[in-house]
Amino acid sequence: MKITGGLLKMKAELKAPIHYHLPIGSELIDVNSLINKRIRLTYENDIFCINCGAKTYKSFNQGMCYPCFESSPLASECIIHPERCQAHLGIGRDMEWETKYHLTPQIVYLALTANAKVGITRKPQIPTRWIDQGAVQTIVLAEAPNRYLAGMIEVSLKAFIADKTHWQKMLKNQINPDVNLLELKKEMTQNLSPELRKYVVDSELQDLSYPVLEYPEKVKSLSFDKLPVVEGVLTGIKGQYLMFDYLNVLNVRKHQGYVVSLEY
C-alpha cells in the first residue's frame, strides 16, 4: 500500500503500550500495526506550512514557513521561555489565541525520560506532552492559572533539576534507576517560594510504556533534509520517533509539513 500527503506529528493514545497513529494527508495510519514490518518513507520534495498552508523551501519551528515563524503565537518567545509570557498583562502576538491557550490552567510536572526533568504544559495536553517526550513515568507537581506563573515555577526549579530531555538516552531507554519522583516532588516543593508553593497539588504517579521490540544500543538520527528515503523494519515507536532496524530513528515532529509517501 502507498499513501502520499503532508506529514504531521503522531497522535497517541494512553494505553499499555502507547498506541500511535500517523497522519499523512487525509489518512491516519495505525503505526503500531506496522511494528516488525518493513516500511518505506519517501520525501516528495515539497514542504507546506502547517500553520498557513503556504509552500515553503524550508521548515521552521517544526513545520512553519518563515513568515509564520516570525508572526504566529505558536512561535512566540514564551513557547520556549514561559516565564517571559506577558499574556496576563494583555500583551501577546494574538491575544485571542493567548487567552485560549496561555491564560488557562497550566501544569508543572516532573518526568522521568532518562533522568528526571521538569516541564510545563496546558492541562488538556496531558498525557500527550508526556508521551511526546518519551517519559516512562510522570507526576504533576503544580497547577498554575496561566503560563507566566507556571514558567516562574519551572525557572525556580531549574537550579535543582534539568528541563531538557536527553533524546539519545531516552531512545535507548537508559533510565536512571535512582530517580524516585514521589520523593523528588517533595524535595522540589520545598525549593519553591511560599508564593509559588501554593500552586502545588496532590497527584499520583503515571507510568507509560511504548511499543518497542527491543531498545537499541546506539541510535542514528535520520533527516529528509539529507536523505530522501527512510526505510527498514519498524522496530519501535517512542516519543515522536520511529525506530528502524534497532538503530536508525526519524523524528516525525521535526518533519511536519513535509510531503511524504509511505509504503508498507
Domain boundaries of the chain, sorted by first residue: 2-48+211-263, 105-207
CA 88 to chain centroid: 25
Helices (H), 133-180: 147-157, 167-171
**CA nearest neighbour of 240 among 217, 256, 257:** 256
Q: Burial of 194 by CB count in 10 Å (0-12 exposed, 13-18 middle, 19+ buried)?
A: exposed
Average pLDDT estimate for 131-154? 98
Which pTM does this prediction carry?
Answer: 0.95
**Is 20 in contact with 12 (CB distance < 8 Å)?**
yes
DSSP state, residue 42:
E
137-144/116-122 β-pairing: unpaired
Task: Give me the mean pLDDT over the 68-82 stretch.
Answer: 95
Q: What whole-number distance in Å separates Cα of residue 213 and Cα of residue 237?
A: 9
CA distance 256 to 216: 25
Measure the CA–CA gap between 110 and 80, rounded to whole angstroms.
17
Residue 185 phi, psi dihedral angles, 5° rounding: -60, -45
- What is residue 251's three-state secondary structure? strand
Average pLDDT over residues 136-155: 98
Confidence grade of residue 244 (pLDDT, cut at 50, 70, 90): very high
Model pLDDT for residues 21-35, shown as the tens digit of each residue: 999 999 999 999 999
